Structure 1
Amino acid sequence: MNSILNENSGQTSAELILLIGGIIVIVIIVGSYGVNILDSINKSLKSLLESEKEFILNNI
Protein backbone atom coordinates (compact mmCIF):
# COMPACT_ATOMS: atom_id res chain seq x y z
CA MET A 1 0.00 0.00 0.00
CA ASN A 2 2.83 2.38 0.81
CA SER A 3 4.44 1.81 -2.61
CA ILE A 4 1.21 2.81 -4.36
CA LEU A 5 1.12 6.10 -2.46
CA ASN A 6 4.71 6.86 -3.39
CA GLU A 7 3.99 6.09 -7.04
CA ASN A 8 1.02 8.48 -7.09
CA SER A 9 3.12 11.17 -5.48
CA GLY A 10 5.75 10.83 -8.20
CA GLN A 11 3.11 10.84 -10.88
CA THR A 12 1.61 14.03 -9.48
CA SER A 13 5.02 15.70 -9.50
CA ALA A 14 5.63 14.63 -13.09
CA GLU A 15 2.23 15.93 -14.17
CA LEU A 16 2.88 19.23 -12.43
CA ILE A 17 6.25 19.57 -14.16
CA LEU A 18 4.61 18.87 -17.54
CA LEU A 19 1.86 21.39 -16.82
CA ILE A 20 4.32 24.12 -15.84
CA GLY A 21 6.44 23.32 -18.90
CA GLY A 22 3.40 23.63 -21.14
CA ILE A 23 2.49 26.97 -19.61
CA ILE A 24 6.04 28.23 -20.15
CA VAL A 25 5.92 27.19 -23.82
CA ILE A 26 2.59 28.98 -24.31
CA VAL A 27 3.94 32.15 -22.67
CA ILE A 28 7.02 32.10 -24.92
CA ILE A 29 4.90 31.67 -28.06
CA VAL A 30 2.50 34.46 -27.09
CA GLY A 31 5.41 36.73 -26.15
CA SER A 32 7.08 36.13 -29.50
CA TYR A 33 3.83 36.88 -31.31
CA GLY A 34 3.43 40.10 -29.31
CA VAL A 35 6.98 41.21 -30.10
CA ASN A 36 6.39 40.61 -33.81
CA ILE A 37 3.20 42.69 -33.73
CA LEU A 38 4.92 45.53 -31.88
CA ASP A 39 7.83 45.45 -34.32
CA SER A 40 5.42 45.71 -37.24
CA ILE A 41 3.60 48.65 -35.62
CA ASN A 42 6.93 50.35 -34.92
CA LYS A 43 8.04 50.01 -38.56
CA SER A 44 4.71 51.37 -39.80
CA LEU A 45 4.82 54.38 -37.50
CA LYS A 46 8.44 55.10 -38.38
CA SER A 47 7.58 55.03 -42.08
CA LEU A 48 4.59 57.31 -41.52
CA LEU A 49 6.62 59.82 -39.52
CA GLU A 50 9.38 59.89 -42.13
CA SER A 51 6.92 60.52 -44.96
CA GLU A 52 5.11 63.24 -43.00
CA LYS A 53 8.43 64.89 -42.12
CA GLU A 54 9.41 64.97 -45.79
CA PHE A 55 5.99 66.33 -46.75
CA ILE A 56 6.22 69.14 -44.19
CA LEU A 57 9.80 70.05 -45.13
CA ASN A 58 8.90 70.18 -48.83
CA ASN A 59 6.00 72.56 -48.15
CA ILE A 60 8.05 75.10 -46.20
Structure 2
Amino acid sequence: MEKFINFFLSLVIGLTAGILIVNNPLNITNRVFFLLILLLATGLLMMALYRNHRIKLKK
Protein backbone atom coordinates (compact mmCIF):
# COMPACT_ATOMS: atom_id res chain seq x y z
CA MET A 1 0.00 0.00 0.00
CA GLU A 2 2.86 2.38 0.77
CA LYS A 3 4.35 1.87 -2.68
CA PHE A 4 1.01 2.70 -4.29
CA ILE A 5 0.68 5.91 -2.27
CA ASN A 6 4.21 6.96 -3.17
CA PHE A 7 3.59 6.15 -6.85
CA PHE A 8 0.27 8.00 -6.91
CA LEU A 9 1.65 11.11 -5.23
CA SER A 10 4.68 11.11 -7.53
CA LEU A 11 2.35 10.84 -10.52
CA VAL A 12 0.23 13.76 -9.28
CA ILE A 13 3.36 15.87 -8.73
CA GLY A 14 4.70 15.05 -12.19
CA LEU A 15 1.43 15.73 -13.99
CA THR A 16 0.79 18.97 -12.13
CA ALA A 17 4.30 20.26 -12.74
CA GLY A 18 4.02 19.25 -16.40
CA ILE A 19 0.73 21.11 -16.81
CA LEU A 20 2.17 24.21 -15.14
CA ILE A 21 5.31 24.17 -17.30
CA VAL A 22 3.76 23.27 -20.68
CA ASN A 23 0.55 25.32 -20.48
CA ASN A 24 1.89 28.81 -19.87
CA PRO A 25 -1.25 30.74 -20.90
CA LEU A 26 -3.30 29.53 -17.90
CA ASN A 27 -5.33 32.12 -16.07
CA ILE A 28 -4.41 32.98 -12.50
CA THR A 29 -7.16 30.84 -10.90
CA ASN A 30 -6.02 27.63 -12.61
CA ARG A 31 -2.39 28.43 -11.93
CA VAL A 32 -3.04 28.91 -8.19
CA PHE A 33 -5.16 25.74 -8.09
CA PHE A 34 -2.44 23.64 -9.75
CA LEU A 35 0.21 25.19 -7.50
CA LEU A 36 -1.79 24.26 -4.39
CA ILE A 37 -2.20 20.68 -5.67
CA LEU A 38 1.54 20.52 -6.33
CA LEU A 39 2.44 21.79 -2.86
CA LEU A 40 -0.07 19.51 -1.12
CA ALA A 41 1.06 16.42 -3.04
CA THR A 42 4.72 17.22 -2.35
CA GLY A 43 4.03 17.60 1.36
CA LEU A 44 2.04 14.36 1.50
CA LEU A 45 4.77 12.49 -0.36
CA MET A 46 7.41 13.80 2.04
CA MET A 47 5.28 12.73 5.03
CA ALA A 48 4.69 9.26 3.54
CA LEU A 49 8.38 8.75 2.77
CA TYR A 50 9.38 9.90 6.26
CA ARG A 51 6.82 7.55 7.83
CA ASN A 52 8.07 4.58 5.78
CA HIS A 53 11.69 5.42 6.60
CA ARG A 54 10.93 5.72 10.33
CA ILE A 55 9.08 2.37 10.37
CA LYS A 56 11.97 0.63 8.58
CA LEU A 57 14.47 2.03 11.10
CA LYS A 58 12.50 0.61 14.06
CA LYS A 59 12.50 -2.94 12.62
Q: How many residues align?
A: 34
Two-structure CA RMSD over aligned residues (Å): 1.3
Higher relative contact order (CA 8 A, sep 6+): 2
Following TM superposition, by how much is the alpha carbon of 1:17 offset from its aligned partner in structure 2, in angstroms? 0.2
Tell me which residue corresponds to 2:36.
14
In structure 2, list runs of 5 or more residues that go unmatched: 1-25
Q: TM-score, normalised by structure 1?
A: 0.54
TM-score normalised by the chain length of structure 2:
0.55
Unaligned runs of 5+ residues in structure 1 are: 38-60
Runs of 4+ in structure 1 deviating by more than 4 angstroms, as ranges, are none
Task: Tell me which protein shows more helix as a share of its residues.
Answer: 1
**Which AA in structure 2 matches 1:36?**
K
Superposed, 1:1-60 pairs within 5 Å as 5-37=27-59
- 1:21 offset after TM fit, Å? 0.3
**Which one has a bigger Cα radius of gyration?**
1
Identity of aligned residues (%): 12
Separation in 2, partners of 1:27, 1:19: 12
